[in-house]
């Protein structure tokens, strides 16, 4: 384990000590004056103190800084720096004061699969200014969990930021994928960055590149804020979803630029109160809810609000996808103010989804889809069918709503809508003409502003 340098730790300062001592002396003098004056409550005392004298603010400013290079990390892109990362995490997570781990700019740190486990004694922030690099060779994962590379578990109040890079070096994984070459066996591949059971989490201002499979996964997390991410991988890289949200609640994703070989954002089972704003998605598979119901499983997604996106040259635009045979529901979803450019399937609900090497058997679907709105979806479609809503025979889609949807052909031809077991209402000018068999005579679905303000 490396030694901490003078720049890496907060030191005792005699000047600050005597200033604090004088402050506390004044504090207690005022306190006893208030007691003798029979002034009730502690708030009155706090208000008499200047803002700079707040003990709470002083505590917040106390932060211990740990640099990975102080713990032996070389950062030349060839030397294995995994143990240095383990050591610095152990020190930061066990620190009684707020801690910041710095991955300095100008360095490339080669890191094997690693777990960053909590709970920690205090709040931790990870500042990635340089680059974290994955091993190229998939054999490094032999005997380890093949789905993980950088894995955070049960860490509360974590912040990950810094403007640096996380590079999954996924090229060899993609070459071995059965989706690239059907003669290859189908195997799992790692997610570059996983947060599992991490609450009150912030991830912002970092770049994720070329993940082995999914780039960023949130699983069973609450109160998550994601912003200003750049996530990039080739359009033909298999299963490289950018942001994957599973079993989470109160997640806010905004101001992200994404281009990968799969969903730009995917929201799956048991997730709720998800807010997505100002997303660029090009290329990729669009913004998706699902898939749900695989292998006859149960899942629910509700209270999802997407407002503001630019989607270009993708396989899908905004999509809900479920497998036959599953159960559960998708409810209270709004896609709003989305601009499409040369997008295949700009609006699609597919309850016959089948991502399998073999044809999927016809089964009864018990996944209900209702109260889904498409508002202000405009631009150009790469396919004739700009709107496809194919719902379950046993559970038709209900209370769908289209308002001011304008999707013309990128090539200058005409566009059409297709509906199956889909019922809803429309408002404003819509093209192509909606295909609902009748107007449900329902009011426009609304999204409660209370839960939006709470995330």
Q: Mapped to the 3 state alphabet, what secondary structure does 351-372 carry? A: EEECCCCCCCCCCCCEEEEEEE
**pLDDT in the model for residue 437:** 84
Residues 6 or more apart whose Cβ sits within 8 Å of residue 166: 128, 131, 132, 150, 192, 193, 206, 207, 208, 209
pLDDT at 9 over 50: no
Mean pLDDT calculated for residue range 240-259: 98
More confident residue, 437 or 87: 87
**pLDDT in the model for residue 366:** 85
**pLDDT in the model for residue 61:** 59
Q: What is the pLDDT of residues 164-211, one digit of tens each?
A: 999 999 999 999 999 999 899 999 999 999 999 999 999 999 999 999
**How far from the centroid of its chain's Cα atoms is residue 273's Cα?**
13
pLDDT at 31 over 60: no
What percent of the chain stands above pLDDT 70?
83
**pLDDT in the model for residue 345:** 98
pLDDT confidence of 438, banded at 50, 70, 90?
low
Mean pLDDT calculated for residue range 318-341: 96
- 3-state SS string for 109-148: EECCCEEEECCCCCCEEEEECCEEECCCCHHHHCCCCCCE
pLDDT confidence of 302, banded at 50, 70, 90?
very high
pLDDT confidence of 347, banded at 50, 70, 90?
very high
pLDDT at 13 over 60: no
pLDDT at 3 over 60: no
Q: Which two tokens stand for residue 184?
A: 């290859």
**pLDDT in the model for residue 44:** 39
pLDDT at 14 over 80: no
| Contact yes or no for 344/381 (Cβ under 8 A) | yes
In 30-97, DSSP assigns E strands to: 63-67, 76-80
| Contact yes or no for 279/317 (Cβ under 8 A) | no
Among residues 357, 356, 418, 413, which one has the least CA distance to residue 386?
418
Mean pLDDT calculated for residue range 337-366: 91
Residues 259-273: b if buried by 16+ CB within 10 A, e if exposed = bbbbbbbbbbbbbbb
Q: Which two tokens stand for residue 221?
A: 């997390």
**pLDDT in the model for residue 355:** 84
Other CB atoms within 10 Å distance of the CB of residue 108? 18
| Contact yes or no for 68/103 (Cβ under 8 A) | yes
What percent of the chain stands above pLDDT 90?
77
**pLDDT in the model for residue 440:** 54
Q: Which two tokens stand for residue 422?
A: 């889909």
Q: What is the pLDDT of residues 69-83, one digit of tens each?
A: 999 999 999 999 999
The DSSP bridge partners found for residue 368 are 329
Question: How many CA atoms are closer than 13 Å to the CA of 90, on its beta-carbon side?
Answer: 10
Among residues 273, 445, 260, which one has the least CA distance to residue 369?
445
DSSP 8-state class, residue 264: S
Among residues 194, 246, 199, which one has the least CA distance to residue 223?
199
Mean pLDDT calculated for residue range 13-28: 39
Our CA dihedral for 188, 285, 323, 443, rounded to 10 degrees, sits at 140
Which residues are annotated as catalytic?
A: 262, 285
pTM of the model: 0.85
pLDDT confidence of 86, banded at 50, 70, 90?
very high
| Contact yes or no for 236/210 (Cβ under 8 A) | no
Among residues 346, 327, 349, 431, which one has the least CA distance to residue 397?
349
Q: What order of strands is seen across the sheet that includes strand 216-219?
A: 114-117, 148-153, 191-196, 216-219, 243-246, 265-268, 287-292, 318-323, 347-353, 385-390, 416-420
Mean pLDDT calculated for residue range 273-297: 96
pLDDT confidence of 357, banded at 50, 70, 90?
confident
More confident residue, 263 or 296: 263
**pLDDT in the model for residue 454:** 45
Q: Which two tokens stand for residue 182?
A: 């059907």
**pLDDT in the model for residue 359:** 85
Other CB atoms within 10 Å distance of the CB of residue 345? 22
Residue carrying structure tokens 């810094």: 162
Q: What is the mean pLDDT of the chain?
A: 87
Among residues 358, 368, 419, which one has the least CA distance to residue 396?
368
Q: Which two tokens stand for residue 277?
A: 């704003």
**pLDDT in the model for residue 10:** 37
Cα 9 from Cα 63, distance rounded (Å):
8
Mean pLDDT calculated for residue range 353-366: 84
**pLDDT in the model for residue 305:** 98
| Contact yes or no for 311/287 (Cβ under 8 A) | yes
Q: How far from 182 is each of 187, 373, 426, CA to CA, in Å?
A: 12, 38, 44
Which of 10-14, 236-240, 258-262 is predicted least confidently? 10-14
């Amino acid at each position: 384990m490396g030694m901490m340098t003078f720049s890496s730790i907060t030191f005792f300062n005699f000047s600050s000590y005597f200033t604090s001592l004088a402050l506390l002396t004044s504090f207690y003098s005022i306190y006893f004056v208030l007691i003798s004056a029979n002034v009730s409550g502690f708030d009155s005392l706090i208000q008499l103190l200047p803002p700079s004298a707040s003990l709470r603010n002083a505590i917040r400013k106390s932060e211990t800084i740990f640099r990975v290079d102080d713990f032996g990390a070389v950062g030349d892109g060839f030397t294995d720096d995994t143990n240095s990362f383990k050591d610095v995490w152990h020190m930061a997570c066990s620190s009684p004061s707020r801690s910041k781990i710095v991955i300095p700019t100008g360095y490339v740190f080669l890191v094997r699969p690693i777990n960053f486990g909590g709970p920690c004694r205090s709040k931790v922030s990870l500042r990635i200014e340089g680059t974290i690099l994955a091993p190229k060779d998939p054999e490094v994962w032999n005997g380890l969990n093949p789905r993980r590379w950088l894995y955070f578990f049960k860490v509360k109040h974590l912040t990950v930021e810094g403007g640096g890079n996380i590079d999954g070096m996924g090229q060899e994984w993609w070459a071995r994928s059965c989706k690239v070459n059907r003669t290859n066996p189908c195997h799992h591949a790692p997610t570059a960055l996983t947060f599992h059971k991490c609450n009150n989490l912030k991830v912002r201002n970092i770049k994720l590149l070329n993940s082995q499979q999914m780039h960023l996964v949130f699983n069973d997390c609450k109160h998550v804020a994601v912003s200003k991410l750049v996530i990039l991988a080739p359009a033909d890289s298999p299963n490289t979803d950018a942001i994957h949200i599973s079993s989470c609640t109160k997640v806010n994703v905004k101001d992200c630029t994404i281009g990968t070989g799969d969903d730009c954002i995917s929201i799956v089972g048991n997730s709720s109160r998800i807010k997505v704003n100002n997303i660029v998605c090009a290329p990729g598979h669009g913004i998706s809810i699902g898939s749900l119901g695989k292998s006859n499983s149960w899942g629910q997604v509700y209270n999802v609000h997407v407002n503001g996106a630019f989607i270009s040259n993708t396989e899908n635009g905004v999509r809900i996808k479920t497998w036959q045979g599953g159960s559960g529901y998708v409810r209270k979803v709004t896609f709003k103010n989305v601009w499409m450019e040369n997008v295949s399937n700009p609006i699609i609900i597919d309850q016959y989804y089948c991502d399998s090497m073999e044809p999927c058997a016809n089964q009864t679907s018990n996944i209900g889809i209702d109260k889904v709105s498409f508002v202000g979806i405009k631009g150009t479609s790469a396919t004739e069918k700009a709107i496809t809503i194919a719902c379950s025979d046993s559970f038709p889609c209900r209370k769908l709503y289209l308002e001011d949807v304008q999707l013309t052909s990128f090539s200058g031809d005409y566009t059409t809508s297709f509906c199956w077991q889909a019922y809803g209402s429309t408002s404003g000018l819509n093209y192509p003409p909606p295909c609902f068999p009748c107007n449900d005579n329902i009011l426009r679905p609304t999204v409660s502003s209370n839960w939006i303000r709470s995330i």
